[in-house]
Amino acid sequence: MFACNGSPNGGDVLRRKTPSRKAEDSIKATCKVCGHDVMYSPQRTWNLMRHVWIMHQSSKPNQCSICGYSHIKPYVRKHIESQHKHDSNATIIDLKSPELEAEWSQLLDQCFGVTYRKWKHHKEDTQHTGGLLFDDDELRGG
């Protein structure tokens, strides 16, 4: 069960009402390209990237080493388990590169604008890893 309150940034805040779980705030961002609503929280912003990868981006971050099927890591893993289960050489190839990251950043900005820019600056301020901004290991099952 959820209760809805207005958030100061214009998104709707949903609070989970369960006695066994701590309330977690989720914010609804609407994609400016397709109108799809995406729920995220400041601690779990991967939903914004997941939306771009699944709904708008032809260049996926991972690929099957056997047939070239590409998608986000959990989808490629399921693909390998179902299509290549008897092939021990089947692996997931990581396709992420600075060029793809730039493409994804541009799409995120087109889709979510201010919401994405706030997230990007927060990630840059808190994570000085020198690696790519987007890591699909954040996508459940990574």
CA angle 106, 108, 109 (to 5 degrees): 65
Q: Are 6 and 20 in contact (CB under 8 A)?
A: no
pLDDT at 125: 56
109 Cβ neighbours under 8 A, 6+ residues apart:
116, 117
What are 12-54's pLDDT values in tens digits? 444 444 443 333 578 889 999 999 999 987 777 788 888 988 8
Spell out the domain ranges in the chain.
26-58+97-121, 62-95
Q: Are 48 and 115 in contact (CB under 8 A)?
A: yes
Band (6; pLDDT cuts 50, 70, 90): very low
